[in-house]
Chains A and B, each alone.
Chain A
Amino acid sequence: MFIFGALLVGTILTVWAATLEFNKTHPAAGITVALIIASVKSFLVAGYFMHLISEKKAIYATLATTAFFFAALMGLTLWSMHDFPFFTTIKY
């Protein structure tokens, strides 16, 4: 039940944080804050509701590998669209 409460608080926190002033001037900071809160909430769901915190090695290994590849997909693709040869810019 504690987790439930924490999740609801987290949700409200996310909404409130998005309305703060710094979002307009520093959108990157706003995104970071929102994603951190989302990560905490997802850790709670995964850890306790999905019982991941006491799960077996095989499951951890699968998920860790998956997380790595997801990060690679997102990160490398983003990087590729921002690394340009000299004197060029590509408009996607």
Chain B
Amino acid sequence: MAETHATTHTAHEAHAHHELPFMRKYIFSTDHKVIGIQYGITALCFLLFGFLLMAAMRWQMAYPNDPIPVVGGLLQKALGEDMVASKTVEKVNPDGTKTEVKIPGIMTPDLYNAFGAMHGTIMVFLAIVPLAFGAFGNFVVPLQIGAPDMVFPRINMVSYQCYFGGGVVMLASFFIPGGAAKSGWTSYSPLASIADLSHRIDGQTFWLIGMVLLITSSLLGAVNFIATIIQLRAKGMSWMRLPFFVWAQFVTGFLLLLAFPPLEAAGVMQLMDNVFDTSFFLPSGLVIAGQTIDVSGGGSPLLWQHLFWFLGHPEVYVLILPAMGIVAEIIACNTRKPLWGYKALVHSVLAIGFLSFIVWAHHMYLTGMGTKISTFFQTTTMIISIPSVIILTALFLSLWGGSIRFNTPMLFALAFLPMFGIGGLTGLPLGFNASDILLHDTYYVIAHFHYVVAPGTIFGLMAGIYYWYPKATGRFMNEFWGRVHFVLSFVFMNLVFGPMFLQGLAGMLRRMSDGGATYSITNSPGVEGALSEFVIHLNRDISRAAWLLGLAQIPFIINFFWSLKHGKKIESDNPWQATTLEWQTPTPPPHGNFNKEPEVHRGPYDYSVPGAKTDFSPQNQPI
């Protein structure tokens, strides 16, 4: 202890406790809470932007080749006439003459693909991961383990800046000649390299550079998180006394650390394919528009897929695990009893982390892999569903016999459970090789993964925002509008993604810029497997539900900002009466979080301990 004091003294002298200037305190901060909020605000902005991209796409799907109302003109001005076409109509003037009027705003297939690729990229890499891992992780984890900050605060700051830079590059790609990347968020070669042959530096190049920045950000963040959880746990905070949220973030950190680098390597190779004419992923004899392209050949498109999905699969667990952690915390707090099966939860999350690295080729069943290796991946995929079910079951069972408080965070957390259940269960036919042959790249897949991420993860994240808002700001968000936000979001989420299962089972494929109209019975009569009008018309219902879902977020956005100044003030530092350590700090927590290192005496969920004075016993309360 003496040595730590000695070092603290020297660092103390160097630290000089005067007020930091605005730039150092808010813009270039090394404080994990400020960085967490930076991540949070930026990520929520990207979440909204990604949503708007999809909203535009849904118009094209519902009313193919109809100009987008309201914003059509703006889109054309911003993105150019190559991307946004116009419809020429004859207008009859009052005096009987006819003039031709151009109505701008028709989404070209190229624009549809660009919006589609960027919707996926932005949602996954710029919105959900930074929110779940960067924002919540940064803000909550050091507080929950009793640490003064992250173990490498300056690296933390750089990690945010890399993320911000990556976001800027991704957004900039919309405005360069040729437009943004348009080969799917999966950027399969050879399409990714040949989508825009007229420009050497095209949207795909920007995408790749952006990804390198984002991957760097995630890697630095992952190192920080893991090292912090290993080294900076407070006295008495043993591994099995950690809140489940911290375990979830710990495993997420490992997933990011070990899974991202192969994608970084692949990204560099694809960048070289695009800019320096190499052939890492371009096979020999590739013919485009009747001409063999002038590259050396000898590459392997499959190699890109393997490297991408090696990250891609752990990535989806990165998307879900933090949300599971948040939901676990909120359920424990709002049932006033300990979580059921804490040990099972911990072992399951470790198992998920480990197994997630060896299931990736279930995204590649249709690439012609042999039966033995397909069976291998099918088996590991089935095995990984077990720990996921264990976690879900444990959370469900935690509700039994609880004294449930139905506040807004709890509503979102409760809804997470069946929504994630649907998402997970619908993944099973996709995990089996045989059934996946029919369902691969259909709307069934889109419905499956959106159920897990949208009413799954996002509900978990919303729950977290409503839950930890009082700790960060000292005020509650408005409860009434929170419930309105919840009910509307819940209803519309299901109306958007539920019908997509039907569309997928009917055989409607993904990424069709006209919503499948070309393959409908009307336009392709007599073709085996053509889509019925019912399936095509579902597009309109889904689109309307999606736009209403967007409107349903307005109460949330207003609530978020309004409550900063006018929300109900908290009356104690622990407004939810929770047991975990983040509620034992002042509100908002000061720089350094705790005045002196807290000492932990209990597990994380000592609610309703028999013989205790209150129905919750904070972790640092002595036995």
Contacts and interface: CB of A to CB of B under 8 A. Distances in A.
Interface of A: 58, 65-66, 69, 72-73, 76-77, 79-85, 88, 90-92
B51 interface: no
B369 A80 contact: yes
A76 B368 contact: no
B302 A85 contact: no
A29 B413 CA distance: 58
Contact of A85 (B301, B310, B370): B370
Interface of B: 230, 254, 258, 262, 283, 299-303, 306, 310, 354, 357-358, 361, 364, 368-373, 376-377
11 contacts: A73-B262, A73-B310, A76-B373, A76-B376, A80-B306, A80-B370, A81-B300, A83-B369, A85-B368, A92-B300, A92-B302
Nearest to A91: B283
Contacts of B368: 84-85, 88, 90
Contacts of A65: 254, 258, 354
Contacts of A73: 262, 306, 310
B314 to A, nearest CB: 9
Contacts of B230: 58
A92 B357 CA distance: 23
A69 B260 CA distance: 12
A80 B309 CA distance: 13
A82 B283 CA distance: 17
A76 B361 contact: yes
A79 B375 CA distance: 12
Contacts of A76: 358, 361, 373, 376-377
A83 B302 contact: no
A84 B283 CA distance: 18
Contact of B358 (A72, A80, A84, A85): A72
Contacts of B300: 81, 92
B150 to A, nearest CB: 18
Contact of B357 (A72, A79, A85): A72
B361 to A, nearest CB: 6
Contacts of B361: 76, 80
Given A69-B258, A88-B368, A81 B357 contact: no
A72 B230 CA distance: 26
A72 B299 CA distance: 22
B258 A66 contact: yes
Nearest to A92: B300
Nearest to A81: B302
Contacts of B372: 79, 83
Nearest to B298: A92
A45 B470 CA distance: 52
A91 B300 CA distance: 9
A90 B373 CA distance: 15
A84 B262 contact: no
Contacts of A81: 300, 302
A59 to B, nearest CB: 10
Given A73-B310, A84-B368, A90-B368, A79 B373 contact: yes
Contacts of A80: 302, 306, 361, 364, 369-370, 373
Chain A to chain B: the 5 pairs with minimum beta-carbon distance, closest first: A83-B370, A92-B300, A83-B373, A77-B306, A80-B373
A58 B377 CA distance: 29
Contacts of B358: 72, 76
A73 B314 CA distance: 13
A85 B373 contact: no
A82 B370 CA distance: 8
A79 B302 CA distance: 12
A69 B300 CA distance: 22
A80 B302 CA distance: 10
A85 B306 contact: no
Nearest to A89: B368
Given A80-B364, A85-B370, A92-B301, 10 more contacts: A65-B354, A76-B373, A80-B302, A80-B369, A81-B300, A83-B370, A84-B368, A84-B370, A85-B371, A92-B283
Nearest to B353: A65
A27 B550 CA distance: 61
A75 to B, nearest CB: 10
Contacts of B299: 92
A42 B131 CA distance: 40
A65 B353 CA distance: 11
A14 to B, nearest CB: 25
Nearest to A66: B258
A52 B302 CA distance: 36
Contacts of A82: 370
A80 B372 CA distance: 9
A13 to B, nearest CB: 30
Nearest to A69: B357
Contacts of A84: 368, 370
B550 to A, nearest CB: 40
A39 B58 CA distance: 55
A57 to B, nearest CB: 11
Contacts of B258: 65-66, 69
Contacts of A79: 372-373, 376
Contacts of B283: 91-92
Contacts of A66: 258
Nearest to B300: A92
Contacts of B303: 77, 92
B228 to A, nearest CB: 13
Which interface residue of B299, B361, B371, B373 has the most chain A CB atoms within 10 A? Answer: B373
A65 B253 CA distance: 14
B302 to A, nearest CB: 6
A81 B258 CA distance: 23
A92 B376 CA distance: 20
Contacts of B376: 76, 79
Nearest to B262: A73
A73 B358 CA distance: 8
Contacts of B369: 80, 83, 85
Contacts of A85: 368-371
A80 B305 CA distance: 12
A69 B230 CA distance: 21
Nearest to B226: A62
Nearest to A75: B358
B371 A83 contact: yes
A7 B90 CA distance: 82
A69 B34 CA distance: 35
A69 B356 CA distance: 10
B302, B357, B358, B370 interface centre (most CB from chain A within 10 Å): B370
